[in-house]
């Protein structure tokens, strides 16, 4: 397979031929000046077209000196333009939102270029905001969970499991920088503020060679560049949090900036009630995040971007008191809690060497840290003596990255383009560190206090070409390596995907991809807790590998009003990590490498997506049929067992109906087979008589549970309906809207976990614990555009 793909890549260079003229430029939003990533430009006469790259740049050959071009982007009116050429020409296009210029929409003449992509889907910020949300917080990852092939973890969680993979196997990129923990509120919300996002692409298979480092998916999230023409502000006030974004030009049509922030206020609103019910103990939780991005165009060939994200969660309990009792003073202060957060930043330089060669250079820095702490101070004083005691414990974990990458786009001719580049990441891992200090005892440090340093390298070449009419091939090689301590792990990963366009409405697709991952995530739970530990490959722990094959078809129905996609896949995974039975992150007397078992996994299934993208009524229906198994020599006596999230059936229905300019209704319904679970099946009497205490009574367990095979049972199925209604209103200063939404509309008692209890006469029962019942919420949104009439 590797040799075959390499030969195809080399032979493809022979397809190259010169054209008379070439046009190139950027495709932008007419109102804001932002580049439209992935916008399509198409010449109906030759039935040739291309898509803009991640920075809105396109390059297209035109035979002859005149052409009629069509430029389109999802949610925007298609522009049709006649151009006269005299040699190579630069032409920039500006598109208007479709509801503002609907009379120029062109339909039925261009095949949907999404038919060319395998296991890939794009999600706009409008799609994200239209879906009813938990507690009024619209969420990128929860929207992605509604797509076939993507599953949620537990109730309300923003964790995602793609085609049988784990949460660590998703490469989540924010402006090209990996985000290691993408969760707020213990996994119930993601860290991505929808107001700061321009578009999202999700790739589940057929991975292009430019991506690497994860096994199961790529979630590529791009922040807005900022309005280059006018200043504007938007935000919202919700049930648990508020947000605000401000954007505008640094210099009109030359540069722009966007600042976006969000914070919860549960801790502030609930503090008086909590103190009253807990004897003046402060108990609270909050999260906040902040996005910033600036860009400046120094010339037609050079543009610079700077972007940053910071976010933090904190759960805490504080208690303090001081009193004077007849000359003796007692003083006590104690704070315990858990906090975690991300910081990412990227600097980019776009340079256009010619109308065929585009370079993006990116320098990145990211840091994820987790901290579990307890600090206390006590003082006792009398007229004769005074004593003080200090106590401090801290458990920390984290990962820090420094990165540099170069990405080239080279447009040879219509239907033939190359992408190639190189990437380097310097990792600093702190798998776990436990520190204990006290006045009355010597300090203690865990075995894994010292950081682990790793160097990750990769190069790639990706060739997209048309060897014959209607057949498009994307073939490439991703070569990577990881050096840690004295070990060096190289990997060569071939990738190939192909699409055959039967006609403008129907295509068949197939892909094969090999992936390697040099990082592991150790987890005891399924809700994305910050206690999940990122660890590298070592002398004892090898990289994860996966091979995925997929086939599919896509079809446009009723002149493109509907589209249908069907895909089947098989994926094999090696060197997966799980905690051994009874181990977890708080076993501080042994290294994490001694706590884990190594095994394999495989998954296969089929995915169906029926979607309506145009009109006042739109939405989609998705269905996934999947099988997902694991096998570890040190778990379940070496026998095969289903993965915790082996979900046989997964259904999602998403609808949005715009009644008129003022009212909009949306709804979702989801169904999923219950998660796999391990349960006790018998009680075994003690092997010897239990010991007695000083009063002659027995103590200790009088029985031991015998458990089933791993994940041999299933929790009840999960299903839920959400509903939302929005009222829009235009103002002199901009626009506003009220959204009222209901989570779990028919109050389904969905399982969160199963609890085992034994009553006074020794009868054992299993009790389902549910988390979220019917939850109403409201949000007030506004957009302030002072410079627009």
pLDDT, one tens digit per residue, over 432-448 is 666 666 665 555 555 55
pLDDT digits (tens, 9 = 90+) for 380-391: 777 777 788 888
Q: What's the rounded mean pLDDT across residues 544-552?
A: 95
How far is Cα 533 from Cα 430, in angstroms, rounded to an integer? 9
Q: Residue 717, Cβ neighbours under 10 Å: how many?
A: 16
Q: What are phi and psi of 137, to 5 degrees?
A: -95, 100
pLDDT at position 187 is 67
Of 402, 418, 428, whose CA–CA distance to 356 is shortest?
Answer: 418
Closest CA to 26 of 307, 201, 292, 225: 225
The more confident residue out of 177 and 585 is: 177
CB contact set of 442 (below 8 Å; sequence gap of 6+): none
Q: Around Cβ 530, how many Cβ atoms within 10 Å?
A: 21
pLDDT on residue 332: 79
**Using CA atoms, how far apart are residues 546 and 515, in angstroms rounded to an integer?**
5
β 183-184/177-178 pair status: unpaired
Q: pLDDT by residue (tens digit) across 580-594?
A: 876 665 566 667 778
Q: Evaluate if residue 505 carries a pLDDT over 80.
A: yes
pLDDT of 8: 46
Residue 158's pLDDT is 63
Distance of CA 227 to the CA centre of its chain: 25
pTM of structure: 0.86
- CA gap 311, 261 in Å, rounded: 10
- E strands present in 440-559: 441-445, 452-468, 471-484, 487-503, 506-517, 519-522, 533-536, 544-557
Q: DSSP letters along 175-219, please? A: TTEE-S--EEGGGTEES--GGGEEEEEEE-SS--TT--S-SSEEE
List the structure tokens of 363: 């320098």
Residue predicted with more confidence, 317 or 11: 317
pLDDT exceeds 80 at position 706: no
What's the pLDDT score for residue 283?
75
Give the tokens for residue 615: 């009109």
- Which secondary structure element, helix H or strand E, spans residue 127, and what is its range? helix 125-130
In this predicted structure, what is the pLDDT of residue 110?
Answer: 45
Higher pLDDT, 412 or 11: 412
* Residues paired with 287 in a beta bridge: 313
Stretch (H or E) spanning 9: helix 2-11
Rg over alpha carbons for the chain, rounded to the nearest Å, is: 29
Q: Using a pLDDT cut of 70, give the percent of the chain over it.
A: 84
The fold adopted by the segment(s) 120-657 is: Maltoporin; Chain A (2.40.170)
Reported confidence tier of residue 710, pLDDT bands at 50, 70, 90? confident
User: What is the C-alpha to C-alpha distance for residues 156 and 720, in angstroms, rounded to an integer?
Assistant: 11
Q: Is 493 exposed, middle or buried (0-12, 13-18, 19+ CB in 10 A)?
A: buried
pLDDT at 515: 96
Tokens, residue 582: 């009874």
Q: What is the tens place of the pLDDT at every residue in 186-225?
A: 667 788 888 888 889 999 999 999 999 999 999 999 999 9
Q: What is the mean pLDDT of residues 112-126?
A: 72
The confidence score (pLDDT) of residue 442 equals 52
Residue 329 has pLDDT above 90, yes or no: no
Mean pLDDT value of segment 300-327? 84
Query: Do 145 and 121 meet the contact criterion of CB atoms below 8 Å apart?
Result: no
In this prediction, residue 531 has a pLDDT band, given cuts at 50, 70 and 90, of: low
Residues 636-663: pLDDT tens digits? 889 999 998 888 999 999 999 999 889 9
Residue in 575, 720, 572, 713 with CA at minimum distance from that of residue 646: 713
What 3-state DSSP class applies to 225? coil
The pLDDT of residue 589: 63
- Where in the chain are the domains? 2-110, 120-657
Region 52-72: what's the mean pLDDT? 86
Given a contact cutoff of 8 angstroms between Cβ atoms, the answer to whether 518 and 543 are in contact is yes
The pLDDT assigned to 12 comes to 45
- In 274-385, DSSP assigns E strands to 282-299, 302-325, 328-352, 357-381
CATH class, range 2-110? mainly beta
Pair type for strands 89-90 and 21-29: parallel
Q: Does 242 have pLDDT greater than 50?
A: yes
What is the torsional sign of CA 587, 592, 593, 596? positive
What's the token pair of residue 468? 């014959």
Residue of 67, 71, 21 whose CA lies nearest to 42: 71
The predicted structure's pLDDT at residue 62: 84
Q: Distance between CA atoms of 629 and 364, rounded to whole angstroms?
A: 36
Asked whether residue 344 carries a pLDDT value surpassing 60, the answer given is yes
Q: Averaged over 116-136, what is the pLDDT?
A: 79
Structure tokens at 760: 């006074």
DSSP 8-class letter at 761? T
Q: Name the more confident of 574 and 42.
A: 574
Token look-up 């031991």 returns: 704
* Tens-place pLDDT, residues 721-743: 999 999 999 888 889 999 998 98
Strand partners, 628: 603
Model confidence at 773: pLDDT above 90: no
Specify the range with the lowest mean pLDDT, choosing from 345-354, 606-615, 673-682, 696-705.
Answer: 696-705
| Alpha carbon distance 399, 533 (integer Å) | 9
Mean pLDDT, residues 306-333 taken together: 82
Residue recorded with tokens 């939302």: 724
Q: What percent of the chain lies above the pLDDT cut of 90?
A: 35
pLDDT digit string, tens, across residues 26-39: 999 888 888 888 88
Q: Please state, rounded to an integer, the average pLDDT across all residues of the chain.
A: 83
DSSP letter (8 states) at residue 252: T
Burial class (CB in 10 A: 0-12, 13-18, 19+), 671: middle
Give the Å distances, CA to CA, from 683 to 680, 699, 708: 8, 17, 12
Q: What is the pLDDT of residue 15?
A: 42
Pairing of strands 676-677, 93-95: unpaired
Q: Can you name the residues that pair with 368 across neighbouring β-strands?
A: 342, 399
Average pLDDT over residues 299-315: 92
pLDDT at 51: 85
Report the pLDDT value the prediction gives residue 109, as an integer from 0 to 100. Answer: 39
Closest CA to 161 of 729, 738, 628, 708: 628
Contact 430, 534 (CB under 8 A): no
Q: How far apart are CA 338 and CA 374, in angstroms?
A: 9
Length of the chain: 789
Q: Cα torsion for 534, 535, 537, 539, to the nearest 10°?
A: -170
Would the CA dihedral through 391, 584, 282, 261 be positive or negative? positive
- List beta partners, residue 490: 481
**Does 713 or 358 have the greater pLDDT score?**
358
Give the pLDDT mean for 6-13: 46
| Residue 510 DSSP code | E
The three-state secondary structure class of 44 is: coil
**Whether the predicted pLDDT of 517 surpasses 90:** yes
Residue 328 scores a pLDDT above 80: no
Q: CA-CA distance, 416 to 535, in Å (whole number)?
A: 40
More confident residue, 265 or 301: 301
Query: Among residues 494, 538, 540, which one has the least CA distance to residue 518?
Result: 538
How far apart (Å, rounded) are the C-alpha atoms in residues 703 and 296?
Answer: 70
The DSSP letter of residue 580 is: P
């Amino acid at each position: 397979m590797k040799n075959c793909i390499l030969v195809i890549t080399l032979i493809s260079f022979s397809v190259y031929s010169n054209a008379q003229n070439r046009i190139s430029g950027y495709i932008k939003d007419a109102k804001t000046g932002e580049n439209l990533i992935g916008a399509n430009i198409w010449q109906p006469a030759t039935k040739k077209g291309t898509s803009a790259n991640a920075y809105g740049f396109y390059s297209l050959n035109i035979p002859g000196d005149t052409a009629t071009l069509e430029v389109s982007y999802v949610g925007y009116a298609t522009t049709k333009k006649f151009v006269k050429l005299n040699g190579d020409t630069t032409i920039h296009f500006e598109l208007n939102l479709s509801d503002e210029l609907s009379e120029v929409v062109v339909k039925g003449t261009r095949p949907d270029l999404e038919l060319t992509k395998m296991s890939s889907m794009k999600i706009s910020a409008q799609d994200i905001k239209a879906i009813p949300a938990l507690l009024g917080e619209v969420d990128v990852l929860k929207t992605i969970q509604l797509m076939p092939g993507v599953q949620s973890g537990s109730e309300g969680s923003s964790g995602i499991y793609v085609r049988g993979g784990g949460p660590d196997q998703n490469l989540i990129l924010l402006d090209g920088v990996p985000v290691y923990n993408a969760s707020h509120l213990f996994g119930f919300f993601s860290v991505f503020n929808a107001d700061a996002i321009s578009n999202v692409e999700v790739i589940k298979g057929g991975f292009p060679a430019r991506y690497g480092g994860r096994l199961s998916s790529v979630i590529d999230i791009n922040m807005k560049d900022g309005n280059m023409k006018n200043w504007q502000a938007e935000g919202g006030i919700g049930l648990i949090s508020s947000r605000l974004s401000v954007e505008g030009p640094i210099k009109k049509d030359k540069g722009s900036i966007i600042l976006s922030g969000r914070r919860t206020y549960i801790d502030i609103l609930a503090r008086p009630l909590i103190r009253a019910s807990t004897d003046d103990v402060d108990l609270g939780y909050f999260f906040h995040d902040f996005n910033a991005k600036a860009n400046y165009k120094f010339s037609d060939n050079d543009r610079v971007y700077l972007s940053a994200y910071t976010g933090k969660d904190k759960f805490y309990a504080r208690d303090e008191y001081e009193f004077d009792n007849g000359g003796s003073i007692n003083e006590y202060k104690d704070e315990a809690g858990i906090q975690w957060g991300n910081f990412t930043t990227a600097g980019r330089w776009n340079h256009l060497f010619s109308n065929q060669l585009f370079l993006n250079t990116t320098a990145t820095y990211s840091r994820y840290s987790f901290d579990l702490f307890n600090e206390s101070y006590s003082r006792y004083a009398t007229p004769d003596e005074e004593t003080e005691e200090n106590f401090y414990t801290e458990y920390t974990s984290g990962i820090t990255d420094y990165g540099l990458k170069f990405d080239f786009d080279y447009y040879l001719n219509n239907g033939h383009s190359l992408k190639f580049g190189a990437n380097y990441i310097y990792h600093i891992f702190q798998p776990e560190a436990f520190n204990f200090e006290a006045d009355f005892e010597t300090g203690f440090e865990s075995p894994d206090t010292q950081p682990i340093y790793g160097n990750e390298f990769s190069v790639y070449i990706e060739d997209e070409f048309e060897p014959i009419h209607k057949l498009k091939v994307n073939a490439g090689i991703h070569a990577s390596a990881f050096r840690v301590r004295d070990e060096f792990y190289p990997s060569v990963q071939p990738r190939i995907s192909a699409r055959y366009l039967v006609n403008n409405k129907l295509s068949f697709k197939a892909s094969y991809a090999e992936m390697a991952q040099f990082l592991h995530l150790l987890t005891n739970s399924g809700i994305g807790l910050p206690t999940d530990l990122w660890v590298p490959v070592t002398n004892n722990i090898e990289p994860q590998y996966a091979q995925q094959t997929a086939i599919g078809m896509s079809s446009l129905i009723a002149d493109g009003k509907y589209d249908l996609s069907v895909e089947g896949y098989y994926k094999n995974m090696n060197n997966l990590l799980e905690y051994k039975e009874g181990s977890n992150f708080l076993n501080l007397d042994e290294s994490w490498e001694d706590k884990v078992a190594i095994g394999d996994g495989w998954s296969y299934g089929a995915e169906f997506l029926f979607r309506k993208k145009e009109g006042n009524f739109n939405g989609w229906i998705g269905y996934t049929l999947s099988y997902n198994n694991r096998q570890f020599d040190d778990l379940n006596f070496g026998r095969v067992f289903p993965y915790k999230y082996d979900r046989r059936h997964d259904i999602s229905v998403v609808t949005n109906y715009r009644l008129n300019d003022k009212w909009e209704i949306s709804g979702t319904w989801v169904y999923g087979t219950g998660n796999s679970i391990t349960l006790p099946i018998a009680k075994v009497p003690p092997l010897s008589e239990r010991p007695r205490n000083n009063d002659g009574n027995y103590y200790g367990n009088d029985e031991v549970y015998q458990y089933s095979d791993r994940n041999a049972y299933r929790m009840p199925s999960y299903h839920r309906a959400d509903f939302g209604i929005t009222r829009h209103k235009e103002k002199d200063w901009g626009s506003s809207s009220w959204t009222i939404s209901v989570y779990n509309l028919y109050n389904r008692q969905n399982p969160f976990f199963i609890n085992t209890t034994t009553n006074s006469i020794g009868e054992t029962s299993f009790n389902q614990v549910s988390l979220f019942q019917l939850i109403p919420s409201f949000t007030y949104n506004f957009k302030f555009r002072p410079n627009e009439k």
